[in-house]
């Protein structure tokens, strides 16, 4: 049977393991950011809240892969692409990042081809190489 003291110890342990490191790391990173005098506190609470959620979901199996999609929606770069079996999630995150930029450039089409290749199991590498070569020929690079 749990007592109030054991529940309190459980909550304190969880805070020390997940939330306190996220808060301190984000605060230190925010203060030491190059070109910042440390007075820009507008984004600090939002960054701390995000890192707390990110750190907690990172403990759940499969949670880290879905956090990267949310990172893209926040405008961040993708740092973690996940294991080989979950490359589709990384491809979707890169496609979302390119779609958010709003330009239909070569990087967008490569992300699109990677995503469709992962979904359909079609050979997207050959298609990307063909498009890269065709682009180089039309620009006179090849």
30 φ/ψ angles, rounded to the nearest 5 degrees: -70, -40
Question: Nearest 5 degrees, angle CA 98-CA 131-CA 85?
Answer: 55
Give me the tens of pLDDT residue by residue for the chain, a chain 142 residues long: 678 788 888 888 888 888 888 889 888 988 888 776 655 556 888 888 888 888 888 778 777 777 777 776 777 776 666 677 778 888 888 888 889 888 888 889 889 998 999 899 888 888 888 888 888 888 876 5
User: What size, in residues, is the chain?
Assistant: 142
Contact 124, 116 (CB under 8 A): yes
């Amino acid at each position: 049977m749990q007592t109030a003291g054991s529940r309190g110890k459980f909550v304190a342990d969880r805070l020390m393991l997940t939330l306190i490191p996220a808060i301190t790391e984000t605060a230190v990173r925010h203060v030491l950011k190059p070109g910042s005098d440390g007075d820009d506190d507008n984004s600090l609470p939002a960054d701390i809240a995000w890192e707390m959620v990110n750190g907690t979901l990172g403990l759940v199996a499969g949670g880290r892969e879905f956090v990267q999609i949310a990172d893209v929606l926040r405008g961040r770069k993708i740092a973690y692409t996940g294991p080989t079996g979950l490359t589709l999630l990384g491809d979707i995150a890169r496609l979302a990042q390119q779609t958010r930029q709003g330009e239909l450039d070569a990087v967008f089409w490569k992300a699109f081809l990677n995503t469709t290749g992962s979904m359909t199991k079609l050979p997207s590498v050959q298609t990307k190489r063909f498009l890269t070569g065709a682009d180089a020929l039309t620009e006179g690079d090849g």
